[in-house]
């Protein structure tokens, strides 16, 4: 899940006062989506998705035997990746591990994508019309800027960097699926249809998915035919081990960020009446922004407005000339996203003016909402229920307000993002994602590999 450092749009508009008077100034709007060429790229008509889908399942015992044969190696790979985490667009070693394992399995791949560390692999399959499109499976590879507190022998060897979001597990699961699918190809002479594997950099705020799309990873211009639909998973420390789940529609939120500067006039702290106190103004702005969710957005709509950083002043006896605020806005619907952006500027401007100060807003649009295609979700449910049984397939009741750049794939092809339970039965509660004691549960690898394999081999 993303940490929202990626700024997709920088929203700006001239203030009515031209910036000279008390008020709010916005700085420049640009769209990286338009600049990337994603919208201009032409894709063939997508593979039809049938609501009556029933996946032709690989013989269960045979598939699970193949997975079991790989498990010891996969656990070793996962722990090696955990011990050597790398930040967004710095995943050089991780990318090399992926390329090494793909080469060992005899799988064709293309490296150097999405800024240099992305890898796209392809397994041929199908016949006739089945060869015209491929199923896409994605894993993210980057880690977080966090100091690990686990005492395990494979704890991070890179100071201040750790796999606190489970991307080591995601990458390992996709490598496991690659191995198993390659073994099926070798023993049976092919797969029911082509499969494409995307090992993506920079999910944590760097929009690696957008770069993979812009590089042509979905449209058939890099390797293999165009991708008809995409699937990805995320390890989930709130659900039982072996459980999978998803929901149609909004699965993850849009993740936007903002920076506010409240400008006043500095003075001696003993004589506040001769200055304009930006600290008091900033405190009032922080409180007032919470009325966006309580008074501007309908009660049944979802929104989070959080101020996460407040900075001002250098001394005990000086009222500073400026205070800086920063935070994040999470929404699910486009109209609520626009409303939040509008009201954030209006509130900051009005409150600052009421205190004799001036507000400057830089609102940065990050990842869009991750929206699951309803028929792709139905395919996922059919495959998961047939493979795991109905008791291990859950409906995610509400969207998650975290951000996820898998959203960029879903803007181009029908996609489904699902969760994979990590909590051992009868065990203690797990650390949450992005906490310094989080560690992916190796016992979840087999279920993840099986789901990816079955989704890949399903025939829609």
Q: Residue 147 is part of a domain; what is its CATH number? A: 3.40.630.10
CA distances from 354 to 53, 109, 280, 342, 450 (A): 60, 60, 11, 19, 60
Q: Is residue 88 part of a domain?
A: yes
Q: How many CB atoms lie within 10 A of CB 40?
A: 7
CB 105 within 8 A of CB 182: yes
Whether residues 232 and 261 share a domain: the answer is no
Query: Rounded to an integer, what is the distance from CA 155 to the centroid of its chain?
Result: 24
CA dihedral for 331, 333, 336, 342, sign (positive or negative): positive
Whether residues 204 and 303 share a domain: the answer is no
Whether residues 240 and 385 share a domain: the answer is yes
Q: Is residue 40 part of a domain?
A: no
Residue 321 domain boundaries:
9-30+254-367
Residue carrying the six token digits 């495959």? 383
CB contact set of 427 (below 8 Å; sequence gap of 6+) = none
CB 168 within 8 A of CB 78: yes
Query: Collapsing DSSP states into helix, strand and coil, what is residue 183?
Result: helix
Residue carrying the six token digits 């769209």? 31
CB contact set of 381 (below 8 Å; sequence gap of 6+) = 246, 393
H/E element, 211? helix 208-214
CB contact set of 295 (below 8 Å; sequence gap of 6+) = none
Q: Is residue 36 part of a domain?
A: no
78 vs 232: CA distance, rounded Å: 17
Whether residues 305 and 435 share a domain: the answer is no
The structural domain count of the chain equals 2
| Catalytic machinery residues | 142, 203
Whether residues 129 and 273 share a domain: the answer is no
Q: Which of 344, 367, 390 is the last residue of a domain?
A: 367
Whether residues 247 and 258 share a domain: the answer is no
Whether residues 183 and 143 share a domain: the answer is yes
pLDDT tens-digit map of 293-316:
999 999 999 999 999 999 999 999
CA distances from 220 to 85, 223, 299, 402 (A): 31, 6, 44, 30
pTM above 0.85, yes or no: yes
User: Phi/psi of residue 355, each to 5°?
Assistant: -105, 15
Q: Is residue 1 part of a domain?
A: no
Whether residues 68 and 151 share a domain: the answer is yes
96 vs 114: CA distance, rounded Å: 15
Q: Which of 313, 338, 367 is the last residue of a domain?
A: 367
Query: pLDDT at position 55, please?
Result: 45
Whether residues 144 and 242 share a domain: the answer is yes
Whether residues 307 and 374 share a domain: the answer is no
Residue from 99, 434, 5, 456 nearest 234 by CA: 434
Q: Tell me how far apart the 2 most distant CA atoms of the chain are, in Å.
A: 84
Q: Which of 342, 367, 392 is the last residue of a domain?
A: 367
CA distances from 300 to 29, 295, 330, 366, 399 (A): 30, 12, 15, 23, 13
Residues of the chain short of pLDDT 50, as ranges, are 5-44, 49-53, 55, 58, 459-460
Q: Is residue 38 part of a domain?
A: no
Query: Collapsing DSSP states into helix, strand and coil, what is residue 253?
Result: coil
Q: Is residue 287 part of a domain?
A: yes
Beta bridge partners of 367: 255
Query: pLDDT at position 277, please?
Result: 98
167 vs 85: CA distance, rounded Å: 9
Query: pLDDT at position 323, please?
Result: 98
Query: pLDDT at position 60, please?
Result: 80
Q: What is the CATH number of the domain that holds 300?
A: 3.30.70.360
H/E element, 306? strand 303-312
Whether residues 236 and 125 share a domain: the answer is yes
Q: Is residue 352 part of a domain?
A: yes
Q: How many CB atoms lie within 10 A of CB 143?
A: 27
Q: How many CB atoms lie within 10 A of CB 64?
A: 17
Q: Is residue 37 part of a domain?
A: no
Query: pLDDT at position 45, please?
Result: 52
DSSP secondary structure code for residue 168 in this structure: H
Query: pLDDT at position 127, please?
Result: 73
Query: Collapsing DSSP states into helix, strand and coil, what is residue 238?
Result: strand
Query: Collapsing DSSP states into helix, strand and coil, what is residue 222?
Result: coil
Query: pLDDT at position 417, please?
Result: 98
Whether residues 289 and 338 share a domain: the answer is yes
């Amino acid at each position: 899940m993303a940490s929202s450092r990626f700024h997709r749009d920088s929203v700006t508009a001239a203030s009515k006062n031209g910036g000279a008077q008390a008020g709010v100034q916005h700085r420049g709007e640009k769209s990286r989506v338009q600049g990337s060429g994603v919208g201009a790229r032409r894709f063939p008509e997508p593979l039809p998705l049938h609501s009556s889908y029933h996946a032709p399942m690989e013989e269960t015992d045979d598939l699970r035997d193949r997975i079991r044969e790989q498990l010891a190696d996969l656990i070793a790979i996962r722990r090696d990746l955990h011990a050597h985490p790398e930040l967004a667009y710095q995943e050089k070693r991780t990318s090399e591990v992926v390329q090494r394992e793909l080469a060992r399995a005899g799988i064709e791949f293309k490296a150097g994508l999405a800024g240099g560390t992305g890898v796209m692999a392809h397994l041929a399959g199908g016949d006739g019309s089945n060869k015209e499109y491929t199923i896409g499976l994605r894993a993210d590879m980057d880690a977080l800027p966090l100091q690990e507190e686990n005492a395990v022998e494979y704890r991070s060897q890179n100071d201040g960097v750790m796999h606190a979001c489970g991307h080591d597990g995601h990458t390992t699961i996709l490598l496991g699926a690659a191995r198993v699918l390659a073994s099926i190809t070798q023993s049976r002479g092919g797969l029911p249809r082509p499969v494409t594997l995307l090992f993506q950099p920079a999910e944590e705020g760097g929009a690696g998915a957008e770069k993979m799309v812009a590089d042509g990873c979905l449209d058939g211009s890099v390797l293999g035919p165009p991708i008809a639909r995409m699937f990805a998973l995320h390890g989930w420390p709130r659900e039982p081990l072996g459980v999978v789940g998803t929901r149609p529609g909004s699965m993850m939120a849009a993740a936007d960020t903002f920076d506010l500067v409240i400008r006043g006039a500095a003075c001696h702290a003993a004589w506040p009446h001769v200055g304009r106190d930006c600290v008091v103004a900033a405190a009032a702005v922080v409180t007032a922004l919470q009325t966006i969710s309580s008074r501007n957005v309908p009660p049944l709509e979802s929104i989070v407005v959080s101020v996460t950083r407040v900075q001002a002043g250098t001394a005990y006896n000086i009222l500073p000339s400026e205070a800086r605020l920063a935070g994040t806005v999470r929404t699910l619907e486009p109209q609520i996203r626009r409303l939040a952006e509008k009201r954030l500027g209006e509130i900051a401007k009005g409150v600052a003016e009421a205190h004799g100060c001036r507000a400057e807003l830089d609102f940065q649009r990050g990842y869009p909402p991750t929206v699951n295609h309803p028929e792709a979700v139905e395919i996922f449910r059919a495959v998961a229920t047939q493979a795991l049984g109905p008791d291990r397939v859950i409906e995610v009741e509400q969207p998650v307000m975290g951000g996820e750049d898998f959203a960029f794939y879903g803007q181009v092809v029908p996609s489904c993002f699902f969760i994979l339970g990590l909590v051992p039965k009868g065990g203690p509660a797990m650390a949450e994602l992005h906490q310094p004691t989080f560690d992916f549960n190796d016992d979840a690898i087999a279920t993840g590999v099986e789901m990816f394999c079955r989704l890949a081999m399903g025939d829609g």
